[in-house]
Every structure is written in C-alpha cells, then in structure tokens.
Amino acid sequence: MKEQKNPKKPIYYYYIAALMIVMLLNAFVFPLLVKQNVTQVDYGTFLTQIESGKVKVVEIEENQIGFITADEEGKEKIYITGRMDDPELVNRLHKANIQFSKVIPRQNSPLMNFILTWIFPIVIFYGIGQILANSMQKRMGGNAMTFGKSNAKVYVEAQTGKTFADVAGQDEAKEALTEIVDFLHNPNKYKEIGAIMPKGALLVGPPGTGKTLLAKAVAGEAKVPFFSISGSEFVEMFVGMGAARVRDLFKQAQQKAPCIVFIDEIDTIGKKRDNGGIGGNDEREQTLNQLLTEMDGFNGEKGVVILAATNRPESLDKALLRPGRFDRRVPVELPDLSGREAILKVHGKNVKLDQDIDLNAIARASSGASGAELANIINEGALRAVKCDRKYVTQSDLEEAVEVVVAGYQRKGAVVSPKEKQIIAYHEIGHAIVAAKQTESAPVHKITIIPRTSGALGYTMQISEGENVLMTKEEAFNKIATYTGGRAAEELIFGTYTSGASNDIEQATKIARMMVTRLGMSKNFDMMALETVSNQYLGGDASLICSPDTASKIDEEVLSIIKKAHEKAINILKDNLDKLHELSRYLIERETITGDEFMEILSR
C-alpha cells in the first residue's frame, strides 16, 4: 500500500496568493473607490461655472484644474478638468473672488492603506502572541513550545574550565575517574585487550564535597563535550515530557560522542519504584524507565560516559545500580586533615594571604567541613580583611571566619546583664576545665562569652592535634563529661540550673544513645544493633529496630551513662574550684581568652 501524500500545501503558497490578491485590488479596485466622489468635466464647463458665480475654491496643477461648486442648497461638489493655455485665467479667478486651496483628492497608496488597516494589526497580534509564548516557555522549564527537547547545558570540549588540578582533597575519587579520562583519550588500548569501560559512574557523598566539580574536571581533562543537567529538569507537569527529554538528551550525546553526560541529583528521577503512582505508571516512573532503556540501548564503545551525583544513594532504584548501567560507585566523602589543607591552598591561590599564615591550623579547626564550607571560610576571611582595611588576609581573619561558619557572627550589640555574664563565664570555664583534666580529650583552643548569631551565648572550642579515625569508649564518655561540665559548674557555684545547657544536653544524649544502640559500647546489649541510620549524607535519620521493652531499657542505659559523666564532671570541678573562680573572673574581664592563656593559668 502506497503512502498517501500530505494534501496540505506549504504555508508560503498561501502567502503568495494573498500578495497577488492585494496587488490586483491595488491596481483595479482601490483607484475606482477613490475616484467615485470626483466628477470629470471639460474646460468650457469650468468657465461657465465661473461666470455663473458657482465656483468657490480652485486648485491649479500643471496638467489639471480642480474646483468646488456649491448649489442653491449649499451642497458642495468636486470637479476636475484639463488645463488649457489660458493667460487670463488667474485674473478672471481674482475678479470673481474665488479662493485658491487644495481641492483635488490626494490618492494615498491603496497598498499602504491596506497594510495599515489589515496587515499592521495582524503583525501586532502576532507579536503579542510570541511574547506570551516566550513567557510561558520560561515558566515551564524553557520548553513550553518544544516538548521533549532536552535543556541540558552543553560545554564544548574543555570549556568547563576545570581540571583535576582544581580538585583537592579527593585523591581516591580522582584516581577512580582517571580511567574514564584515559578511555576517552585512548579507547583502542582497551579494545585490544577486550576491556569494556563502565557506561556510568555514580558520585556519592555529602553536599558540598565537590561531586559536580569532579564531573566537570573529568570533561576538562578528557577535552570532550560535557552535557550537564539536573534530575529535577526531567520531571514536568506534562506526562511523558520527562521521558521525551531523556530520549533527546541521549540522542544529542550519541551525535557528539565521545562526550560526558552529567546528571546532578539523580535521586529526583531515580527513586525506587513502588505502587504509589496511578497504576504504577506516573510521570516520574516513566522518566526512570526511559533512562534505564537508554542506558541499555547505547553502545559504550562510542565513548559516551554517564556521570551522576547524589547524596541519597539508598533511595535509588536497584535497576539503576546494576552492572551495565552505573557500574562504578565513586565515594566523594568529607576531606580529612590533609585534604582540608589542600582545599584551603587551592582556594587561597586567588586570595592575598599573609606569608606567615598557617593553613594547617585552620584545617584542624575546621574538622568535618566540606569543600564548599572551606571555600566559604577563605572568602569570609577575605571579606573580614577588607572590612578591617587590610591589603592581605591574616591568620586572625581565617580563625574568625571558622567561628563565623561554625557559630555565626558576633552579636556586639547584644545586651547581657552582669549576673548572666557571670553565669555564662562559669559555664564555659566549666567545660574547659573538665576537658583539660581528662586524658583522652582534645586540647582547649579558645574560650569566649561573646554572643553569636547562631544563638550561642558563648562557647569553648577544642581542636585535636591530629585526625582521629576511630573513637574509643573512653573518648566518647569523656566527650559526654565535657558537655556536662557547663551545667556542673552552674550547680556548684550558683546552686541552680539555667537554659544555657540545652545544646549540651542534646549533644551528650546523642553520643550516649549512639554508644548504646550503634557502637556496641554497652555491656547490657553487647554488640547488638538496635538502631539503623538512613540518609547518612544528609544528617542521618536514626530509627530504632527493637521492641518497646528493649527501647525502655535503652533509655535507662543512656540515662545511666549521662549520670556517670555528670558526676565525673562535678568531681573534677570540685577538685579545681579555685581555678574555676580565677579563670571565670579572668574570662569576664577579657571576654575571650586563648587556649594557651587558659592552660597557663590552670597549670600554675
């Protein structure tokens, strides 16, 4: 059966037909409409009308004369006659007191009239329609009139501007991705031995650790086109639109192979499938199914590598993680001490730093910080240097920047009464003395009673000399004792409690519960797992996996640990009561003291 041809004509046929009709109207119809109100007479009639006094207005042109007459009822009529060689005409008109003015109708271009009357309004309405369409397109993800088109950002070759030299503190992740770069440079080397490069690599880690930066660095090192798109851009209100965008994205990638496709926050479309949608076939699930199909369909030998990033790997569908799709899982964890120092050096290249600056001390003070937070510390230090009218960043600027990131800005205008200031000072010195008098505890670095925007009225900062990977039971217990030191000092000196220990209570309870339920540091429960943690990269939501009776026993065990730590803190402060008074008075006077000053007074 032959395919029928489309009977519809191309649109330009209609434009040509409309133009021919307008030209015919302009040539034959419009001139008649203009002339129907004007009467043509001979020159003799014109002279007769002058003699009879009926001519009121005359216009003389080179080849014709136009004049207006008025009858007895006052009705005016326009006439046109040919011009004759009559030297006395002007004198005759003056004697008859006839006015000279424009009489002959000026024939505007009918085509122009038609354009102004018809075409121009259509153009205006068309322009308004285009503006509305563009506005709708922006509101609906940039594809309101181009459904199914992928709006991925394309960086051609090395235009990402990033290489592995711009990524610090992630040596293991860079090593895992170096193979992908080498494959894109030398694919024949892998083909000869029969090795197949992974189609996809999943970058997993907490927010701010540099997953997106790593993907851009891979493209920059390989010098291939780089497609970047967020998972949320696939999901739209129109069913099937996300799947169409996935198809279009992979089609573009195949055309520009070798290349790298990076999908950020892939958990948006890659969540585990369930029966939550209508018939299990909602828009999100269609998008995921299409992604799975496309990853199976393309040939990895062409050099199309899929990189994806997420901080919720436990929520991804298992079909997405099987071999043949995202074959390789690359952890991008929080940097260690050396990694933090390397990151600070990378971000410090573009900032004027003092020659005597110690980035290792800043790295030790920022334990647990991500790459993004470390970049923010450098920037905050630079802003403080500018605020203080300095030409370079000093050590004090970066130390204050660490405190800004951890505790917020200083509330210099906060009004604290002398009595409350005294309570806060004893509270903080209580923390510091308990920490200093325990063997397995981090040294005190700084004590302050200046309120911060985070809500802290004061704080005691401890910084470890090195990086601890493991935590012993004694270290965990000593941390709890340190947290209870502030409340213990209030009890000893003032014989009452305040709300200043609220955060200490939360932290102490968290560590004690973790010792019992997750770390196996309880004799009663031994190595029994009593709690699971989900979303480990997003704060870690814990949930008990035990019976109500066991949960009650857990609470008793946690309370017992906290009570023992609290008693230990009270005993330490009783043994150092004189130093507690002396250091508290010194802190009230100075408001901020360093760890060296604290240890000097405590040890003498």
Q: Find which of 72-76, 102-106, 390-394 is predicted with most confidence, using mean pLDDT.
A: 390-394
**Per-residue confidence at 291, pLDDT binned at 50, 70, 90?**
confident
The DSSP 8-state label assigned to residue 349 in this structure reads T
Q: Rounded distance, CA 429 to CA 416, Å?
A: 18
DSSP code string of 591-603: SEEEHHHHHHHHH
Domain boundaries, the chain: 153-331, 337-407, 418-603
pLDDT mean over 117-133: 66
Q: Find which of 50-59, 85-94, 367-376 is predicted with most confidence, using mean pLDDT.
A: 367-376
Residue 494 has pLDDT above 60, yes or no: yes
Instruction: Look up residue 227 and give its two tokens.
Output: 């497609």
Q: What is the dihedral of CA 401, 403, 405, 410, to 10 degrees?
A: -90
The DSSP 8-state label assigned to residue 523 in this structure reads T
Q: Rounded distance, CA 517 to CA 460, Å?
A: 28
**Per-residue confidence at 87, pLDDT binned at 50, 70, 90?**
confident
Instruction: Name every residue whose Cβ is closer than 8 Å to that of residue 282 and which is 6 or more positions away in sequence.
Output: 239, 276
Q: Rounded distance, CA 151 to CA 143, Å?
A: 8
Q: Rounded distance, CA 292 to CA 285, Å?
A: 11
Which has more confidence, 531 or 413? 531
537-540 long-range contacts (CB < 8 A, ≥24 apart) are 537/204, 537/205, 537/206, 537/207, 537/311, 537/312, 537/313, 538/206, 538/207, 538/311, 538/312
Kindly report the CATH number that applies to the domain delimited by 337-407: 1.10.8.60
Q: Report the CATH fold assignment for 418-603.
A: Methane Monooxygenase Hydroxylase; Chain G, domain 1 (1.20.58)
| Tally of CA atoms within 13 A in the half-sphere of 70 that contains its CB | 9
Q: Rounded distance, CA 481 to CA 483, Å?
A: 5
Closest by CA to 221, choosing from 177, 282, 271, 251, is 177
- The pLDDT, as a whole number, for residue 224 is 81
Q: Rounded distance, CA 154 to CA 226, Å?
A: 6
Cα 414 to the center of its chain, rounded Å: 34
Instruction: Look up residue 428 and give its two tokens.
Output: 């903080």
pLDDT mean over 25-52: 68
- The pLDDT, as a whole number, for residue 144 is 44
The answer to whether the Cα torsion of 339, 341, 344, 349 is positive or negative is negative
Residue 163 has pLDDT above 60, yes or no: yes
pLDDT mean over 436-465: 86
Pairing of strands 531-534, 39-40: unpaired
- The pLDDT, as a whole number, for residue 232 is 78
- The pLDDT, as a whole number, for residue 133 is 64
- Report pLDDT digits (tens) over 195-217: 877 778 899 988 888 888 888 88
- Report pLDDT digits (tens) over 536-569: 777 777 788 888 899 999 999 999 999 999 999 9
**Per-residue confidence at 44, pLDDT binned at 50, 70, 90?**
confident
- The pLDDT, as a whole number, for residue 386 is 92
Instruction: Look up residue 296 and give its two tokens.
Output: 């199976």
Instruction: Look up residue 311 and give its two tokens.
Output: 């901080």
- The pLDDT, as a whole number, for residue 555 is 93
Residue 180 has pLDDT above 90, yes or no: no
pLDDT mean over 379-398: 91
Residue 282 has pLDDT above 80, yes or no: no
Instruction: Look up residue 142 and give its two tokens.
Output: 């940039």
pLDDT mean over 462-484: 88
The DSSP 8-state label assigned to residue 333 in this structure reads P
pLDDT mean over 109-118: 62
230: left (phi over 0), alpha (psi -120 to 50) or beta: beta
- Report pLDDT digits (tens) over 421-447: 999 999 999 999 999 999 878 889 899
Residue 98 has pLDDT above 90, yes or no: no
Which has more confidence, 342 or 26? 342
pLDDT mean over 64-78: 75
Helix (H) or strand (E) segment spanning residue 228: strand 226-230
**Per-residue confidence at 4, pLDDT binned at 50, 70, 90?**
very low
With beta carbons less than 8 A apart as the criterion, state whether 276 and 251 touch: no
- The pLDDT, as a whole number, for residue 37 is 63
Q: Rounded distance, CA 561 to CA 513, Å?
A: 9
pLDDT mean over 32-49: 70
- The pLDDT, as a whole number, for residue 113 is 64
Which has more confidence, 59 or 524? 524
Output Rg (C-alpha) for the chain, integer angstroms.
43
Q: Rounded distance, CA 555 to CA 525, Å?
A: 12
Q: What is the mean pLDDT of the chain?
A: 80
Longest CA–CA span in the chain (Å) reads 138
Instruction: Say whether the peptide bond before residue 258 is cis (omega within 30 degrees of 0).
Output: yes
With beta carbons less than 8 A apart as the criterion, state whether 592 and 400 touch: no
Other C-beta atoms lying within 10 Å of the C-beta of residue 340: 29
- The pLDDT, as a whole number, for residue 561 is 95
CA distances from 65 to 39, 58, 84, 85, 107 (A): 12, 7, 9, 12, 16
Residue 128 has pLDDT above 90, yes or no: no
Closest by CA to 153, choosing from 233, 210, 217, 221, is 233
**Per-residue confidence at 275, pLDDT binned at 50, 70, 90?**
low
- The pLDDT, as a whole number, for residue 84 is 77
pTM: 0.69
Task: Kindly report the backbone phi and psi dihedral angles of residue 438, in degrees, each rounded to the nearest multiple of 5, phi listed first.
Answer: -105, 145
- Domain 153-331: give its CATH architecture: 3-Layer(aba) Sandwich (3.40)
Other C-beta atoms lying within 10 Å of the C-beta of residue 512: 26
Query: Can you tell me which residue has the tokens 């630079």?
Result: 382
Q: Which residues are catalytic?
A: 428
Instruction: Look up residue 471 and give its two tokens.
Output: 């935590």
Q: Rounded distance, CA 391 to CA 354, Å?
A: 9
The DSSP 8-state label assigned to residue 115 in this structure reads I
Residues in the chain: 604
DSSP code string of 246-304: HHHHHHHHHHT-SEEEEEESGGGT-BPP-S-SGGG--HHHHHHHHHHHHHHHS-GGG-E
Residue 139 has pLDDT above 80, yes or no: no
